[in-house]
Amino acid sequence: MTTSDNRRWALLGPLSVALWIGGIALVNHNNPAEHATGSQILAWYRSDSDSILMGAWLFMLGCLGFVSFVAGLRVRLAEAVGQTSQLPGLALAGAAMAGALGLLTAGVDLAGGIDKNDIDPATAATFHHSVDLFFAGTELAAILPVAAVAIVAWRTRVLPRWWAAFAGLVAIVLAAGPIGWIGLIFGMPLWTLGTSLFVLLGSRARMRAATAAA
């Protein structure tokens, strides 16, 4: 992968985070309380369907962007550890699973907003509470890309070692059931932004070195 390719793929990281934040803000606008009844959830689907649909769609685009970002990062990792290592492929596989589960996390409320006039309160409650199921799956799947990048960065210093240690901490938090949500909501966006930044800085450094050598 060329330097310009690395920089292009790395830009998908911040874009994904921006889409996640914008999507969550829209979906959570006026969202019902944690123990809301099915009737209250259905009323929310009907009154806020536009923001739910837009927010869920943006969040889902962010999930696609994240998978694409890790796909580009995989090439960088493979260059560092060699083609025989399984870690770059594991990172991409984990990102793909996390992305798919993220699509489902937003997709259930998207379905509620679309079908708001054709479902009853019990179905609305089932849709909305299914978010917890897919959210938990996303937490676990996200461990794979973060941990794989942490291991490669620690071994090869393709990223700073202190950043590898931070990634390892995020992976541990994601795996720690009751507090895993902290790793997903706060740790993953920070990890994505930071990793993107280091890839961009590294690409620019290689470009300057190639220019000086020429």
Could you read off the pLDDT of 42-85 as tens digits, one per residue?
999 999 999 999 999 999 999 999 999 999 999 889 988 887 78
Task: List Cβ neighbours of 63 (8 Å cut-off, separation of 6 or more).
Answer: 16, 20, 98, 99, 100, 102, 103, 106
| Domain count across the chain | 1
Q: At what angle are helices 12-27 and 188-213 packed, to 10 degrees?
A: 160
Task: List the chain pLDDT tens, one digit each, 214 residues.
Answer: 555 555 678 899 999 999 999 999 999 988 898 889 999 999 999 999 999 999 999 999 999 999 999 999 998 899 888 877 899 999 999 999 999 999 999 999 999 999 999 999 999 999 999 999 999 999 999 999 999 999 999 999 999 999 999 999 999 999 998 899 999 999 999 999 999 999 988 744 443 433 343 3
Could you read off the pLDDT of 202-211 as tens digits, one per residue?
744 443 433 3
206-211 long-range contacts (CB < 8 A, ≥24 apart) are 206/3, 207/3, 210/3
Domain range for 154 is 3-213
